[in-house]
Structure 1
Amino acid sequence: MRWEGQKITDDDVEGASVAEPALVPLAGLVRTVRTPEFAGITFHEVAAKSVLNKVPPTSSMPFSWTINPFRGCSHACVYCFARKTHSYLNLDTGLDFDAQLVVKINAADVLVRELSRPSWKRDHVALGTNTDPYQRAEGRYSLMPGIISALADSGTPFSILTKGTLLARDIPLLKAASESVNVGMGISLALLDPVLADSIEPGTPAPKARLALVSRLREAGLPCGVMAMPILPWLTDGDESLDQLFGALASAGATGVTAGPLHLRPGSREWFMQWLAAQHPHLVPRYESLYRGGSYASKEYRDWLSGRIRVFRAKHGLMAGAGFFRNLSAAGPADSGGSSASGPRPTPSAADSARAVQPSLF
């Protein structure tokens, strides 16, 4: 099955070229666009009927609703767990996820209608839980200001998790929103090495730029937790790497940190292992052994990494948990390890294991 009549024409965008037709029908498709400013990326603009997504009641997430203005993400993080969702559109979870982006161009207008319903109970809404709302496409479509305003005007608390420094554009709006509703801010940053970052998350702002964004949010009086995930086996899980990461996050003013393991779920596993074979082939057998049980690293390794995380978080005076969901009263899952520099490490000490864990978003 293929989309019919959706090829790009020069009438759509100045300098546009004809695109390959997309692979499946897409409800509400308005047009398909390429533009020179986003070389290699195809935008499939849709008129969405709904933007509020109900979280399944069986989920362990501490929120009931999410919003994802985009499907697919040009951040192109090799390890992204959301890659599998592109297969639902009959698109591949590799290059298509990075470059075939679905854009809900009417997201703000639809959200206003949904939030005005008498049945809406103003539950917390989380953004950035699947694909990043501040990926580069937001610079073209400017969906987030309308979404933020709709949530704040309706009295709905919300949180945003992002790697995108474009969020800085909306700091004044977020600060104003925080005066009427709880606003939680989280930055995703799990490594500092710019060379590794450019290889494994090539479409994201550099680590230094994200550290600077943490500081800007804190200077604006907004909370800013950090999601330091994923920690990568044999690449970023050593004591030196963790010490530098947590030290930099503390210096930037992070209000808390959740750190944890690389998960290799179907859809992302294949893409990540292909990258690993090309960039670090000597690690392939180790990863295959470490993840032989499925999507998660061995329990022995997770326990080891959890202990190291607690040590360096305590050293730098950081709270456990990103903490950008302010109303969360029950502690989330404990941080768990996902990688090892030389196989499973020693079990954390009893003192480390006894450290109190602060509430966290995830």
Structure 2
Amino acid sequence: MDAYKPQAPIKGRGAASRVPGRFERRVAIGEDDGWGSVYEDLGEDAPRPQTTVQEERARSIISRNNSPDIGFSQSVNPYRGCEHGCVYCFARPSHAYLDLSPGLDFETRLFAKTNAVERLREEIAKPGYVPAPIALGINTDGYQPIEKRYRLTRNILELLSECGHPVSFVTKSALITRDIDLLARMAERRLVSVYLSVTSLDNRLSAKLEPRAAAPHTRLKTIAALHEAGVPVGVLVAPVIPMITDADLEHILEAAREAGAAAAGYVLLRLPHELKQIWREWLELHYPDRAAHVMSLMQQMHGDKDYRSEFGQRMRGQGPFADLLAQRFRKAHARLGFGRLPALDTGAFKAPRESSRQGELF
């Protein structure tokens, strides 16, 4: 009996199968019944998984970390799962905690924390709370398509603006320009900064890697719109994928700088947990001729493994190819005159009033 292997990509989706999560007790195995149905490529007639959203009530909303290679200490994620469908997303394995697949389920079975604003108000109103910039939507994009319906990111942003709390974003979505009025006012008070993540300038490649995210040229226009509104904005070239996107590194930096990006960074492809299988499936479907070479380079940068999670190693890798990427980035960064985004101000924070069932009487 052979395990099912996807025979073709699914249009509009990044993952090609429901790769089982590492905590699942039961795993489905495909077996050919003699009619070829398991392995048949149905092409355009193949059924396409639909997106569903489950509303949930979060018990807490601020996540904290002390990782030395991450530039923030706390974050808020109003959604779990992400419809952008970026096949390389490092957050995919988090869906395994829900007993769901980090593959297709991650981008089709989404969760909206409908009490996110209420919980955030309670947590930052606590007497012992010490303000530090909140990275909003850092695990899964706060401006993914379902934000148009739920407006959780907008509502959180309004709360943070109200109490003078700094916030930062990394996004692939042009939807952030919907809130440019609020972002511009917060920028005047040094309360916000934004990074646009750009993986490639090739529309066709982007459609395969990140099928429901904004097209590359749209992200560049978003950088320009934020810059023109006075919002500090940078570009994050992420992930850099050897033999797939690495040739675009300098071109992305040049285009983003021209659009108004004031700062830049890059992150190497990361493959934690189930993402290794999801990524290998994608490579075999889209680039079978170079799949082995891509993974050979990844292993060279991670001590003969697909991925190493140690601090200082996971974001950049090690070895000759990793060193070459770092050198290319440094040279382009200096040549183009990138700097740093201004530090965010925590001194203006005033704790909001805790919500009360008795309203404004007390």
The two structures share one fold, judged by TM-score above 0.5: yes
For residues 275-333 of structure 1, the C-alpha deviation after alignment (integer angstroms, 9 at most, x for no partner) is 001110122211332223241555221111111112222332223x6x475479xxxxx
- Whether the 8 Å contact between 1:149 and 1:177 is mirrored in structure 2 is no
Residue 265, structure 1, aligned to residue 285, structure 2? no
- Whether the 8 Å contact between 2:191 and 2:344 is mirrored in structure 1 is yes
| Distance in structure 1 (CA, Å) of the matches to 2:101 and 2:343 | 33
Provide the residue aligned with 2:133 in structure 1: 124
| Distance in structure 1 (CA, Å) of the matches to 2:343 and 2:149 | 28
| Distance in structure 1 (CA, Å) of the matches to 2:293 and 2:76 | 37
- Whether the 8 Å contact between 1:165 and 1:205 is mirrored in structure 2 is yes
Measure how far apart 1:39 and its partner are.
Answer: 7.6
Provide the residue aligned with 1:228 in structure 2: 237
- After TM superposition, list the pairs within 5 Å mapping 1:107-122 onto structure 2: 107-122=116-131
What root-mean-square deviation, in Å, do the aligned CA atoms of Structure 1 and Structure 2 show?
Answer: 2.2
1:126 and 1:324, CA in 2 relative to 1: closer, same or farther beyond 3 A?
A: farther
| Distance in structure 2 (CA, Å) of the matches to 1:326 and 1:273 | 39
- Whether the 8 Å contact between 1:134 and 1:162 is mirrored in structure 2 is yes
Provide the residue aligned with 2:307 in structure 1: 295
Provide the residue aligned with 1:82 in structure 2: 91
- After TM superposition, list the pairs within 5 Å mapping 1:32-111 onto structure 2: 40-55=50-65, 57-111=66-120
For residues 242-288 of structure 1, the C-alpha deviation after alignment (integer angstroms, 9 at most, x for no partner) is 33212211110101110232122222221111000111012221133
- Match of 2:262, as an amino acid? T
1:39 and 1:269, CA in 2 relative to 1: closer, same or farther beyond 3 A?
A: closer
- Whether the 8 Å contact between 2:78 and 2:137 is mirrored in structure 1 is no
Residue 308, structure 1, aligned to residue 328, structure 2? yes
With structure 2 as the length reference, what TM-score do the two structures score?
0.75
Provide the residue aligned with 2:209 in structure 1: 200
Moved segments of 4+, more than 4 Å: 324-328
| Count of residue pairs the alignment pairs up | 288
Measure how far apart 1:232 and its partner are.
Answer: 1.4
- Whether the 8 Å contact between 2:250 and 2:329 is mirrored in structure 1 is no
Measure how far apart 1:67 and its partner are.
Answer: 0.2
Provide the residue aligned with 1:286 in structure 2: 293
Larger RCO (alpha carbons 8 Å, 6+ apart): 2
Identical pairs, percent: 35
For residues 157-210 of structure 1, the C-alpha deviation after alignment (integer angstroms, 9 at most, x for no partner) is 111111111111101011222344521111111210000000110010100111
| Distance in structure 1 (CA, Å) of the matches to 2:71 and 2:227 | 24
| Distance in structure 2 (CA, Å) of the matches to 1:54 and 1:102 | 20
For residues 81-125 of structure 1, the C-alpha deviation after alignment (integer angstroms, 9 at most, x for no partner) is 000100011101100001110110121122112221111111211
| Distance in structure 2 (CA, Å) of the matches to 1:109 and 1:39 | 32
Measure how far apart 1:140 and its partner are.
Answer: 0.9
- Match of 1:245, as an amino acid? I
- Whether the 8 Å contact between 1:163 and 1:188 is mirrored in structure 2 is yes
Which among 261, 264, 269 is matched to residue 254 of structure 1? 261
